[in-house]
Each structure stands twice: as C-alpha cells, then as structure tokens.
C-alpha cells in the first residue's frame, strides 16, 4: 500500500436480501455499511429486498445503470435453500465474472467453518462498469468478504487494485 497517495473514495450501494430482516436487525448489512464508511468510501444507498430474483435483479439493474454507483455489495441469498436466488438474479446481468473472489472467499472461509463453506455460492463480477460482490447472509461471512474486498477497492493498494480500473470498465 502506498501511504503517500490519497484514497479515491468509491460510491458503494448495499443490498440485504432477506424475507425477514428489517433495518433494526440487519446485522450483515450494518457490517458492510460500517466497514465501507470506516474505510472512507461513500454509501450510495442501502436497501433490504425480499428473496425474489426479479426484485433483486430490478434493484441491482437500477444501480448498474446509475453512473454514480461504482460498487454493489449484496448479502444473503447465496446458499442452497429453495429461496436462495441471489446468484441466479445477478449472473445474467454480469458482463464479466470475477471467479477468483469466490475461490479465495471459500479458501479463507474453510479455515473458519470447514467444509460448510461448500454451501456458499458467493460471486463477484462487473456489469456496465460496476463491480458487484454477492456475499452470504451471515455477519461472519460479510466480515470475511469485506476483508478480501477492501484492499481491492483501495486505490492505494499495490501491486494492483480493482479501484484503479473503474474509469476503463465502461469500455467493456
């Protein structure tokens, strides 16, 4: 990390996918908001959306089309139950998938929860120049995911970072 440079703050939207959470008890969404603001990024918007692929897709599509939203973080809906549909909602929207995110997330998560990590279908990608990271709904998983994401969203991180690519992402 080059401490002589200033951080370029990114505008990040946060979505909690849940049929039961409210703002009062949304621990995972709060963890993501707290982490991004502590890292000096800007919260663009935070919403709670039901476990419905079309409502998820509609909200994410709105953010993808908003030139001021640079990153989208979702939490929830990445498991294997009947209502878990976040990957199915997001994948059709992606121009490019960032496979390494899910791979490293599961590798790190294995140290914490062992083979239960195979149930995580977290993913990341780029759509219309916007980074999208889909995390599991547990607060621990959100913290683990943020630990992976934060350095790549820091424009000072070396040897490279995703933040420095944002101006060129619209060329996809």
DSSP string covering 38-64: HTT-EEEEEEEE-S-HHHHHHHHHHHH
Tell whether 104 is covered by a domain. Answer: yes
Tell whether 1 is covered by a domain. Answer: no
pLDDT at 166: 87
Tell whether 145 is covered by a domain. Answer: yes
pLDDT at 91: 98
pLDDT at 79: 87
- 10-residue averages of pLDDT along the chain (172 residues): 80 97 96 98 98 97 96 95 93 97 95 89 96 97 97 95 80 50
For the chain, the C-alpha Rg in angstroms (whole number) is 15
Give the whole-angstrom CA distance, residue 22 versus residue 44: 19
pLDDT at 61: 98
pLDDT at 172: 43
Sheet holding 42-49, edge to edge: 42-49, 11-17, 71-75, 130-135, 123-127, 96-97
Strand 130-135, strand 71-75: pairing: parallel
Give the whole-angstrom CA distance, residue 97 versus residue 134: 11
Tell whether 128 is covered by a domain. Answer: yes
Q: What is the pLDDT of residues 134-158, one digit of tens each?
A: 999 999 999 999 999 999 999 999 9
pLDDT at 170: 55
pLDDT at 4: 72
pLDDT at 12: 98
Q: Report the CATH number that the domain containing residue 37 is assigned in CATH.
A: 3.40.980.10
pLDDT at 167: 73
SS3 114: helix
Tell whether 60 is covered by a domain. Answer: yes
Number of domains in the chain: 1
Tell whether 2 is covered by a domain. Answer: no
pLDDT at 171: 56
Enclosing domain of residue 22: 11-169
């Amino acid at each position: 990390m080059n401490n002589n440079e200033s951080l370029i703050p990114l505008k990040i939207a946060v979505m909690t996918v849940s049929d039961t959470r409210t703002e009062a008890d949304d621990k995972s969404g709060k963890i993501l908001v707290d982490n991004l603001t502590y890292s000096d990024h800007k919260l663009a918007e935070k919403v709670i959306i039901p476990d419905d692929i079309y409502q998820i897709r509609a909200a994410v599509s709105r953010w993808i089309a908003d030139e001021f939203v640079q990153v989208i973080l979702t939490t929830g809906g990445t498991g294997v139950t009947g209502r878990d549909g976040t990957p199915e909602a997001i994948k059709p929207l992606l121009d490019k998938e960032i496979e390494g995110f899910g791979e490293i997330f599961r590798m790190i998560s294995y140290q914490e929860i062992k083979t239960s990590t195979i149930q995580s279908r977290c993913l990341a990608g780029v759509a219309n120049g916007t980074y999208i990271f889909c995390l599991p709904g547990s607060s621990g998983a959100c913290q683990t995911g943020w630990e992976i994401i934060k350095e790549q969203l820091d424009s000072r991180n070396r040897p490279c970072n995703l933040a420095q690519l944002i101006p060129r992402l619209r060329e996809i």
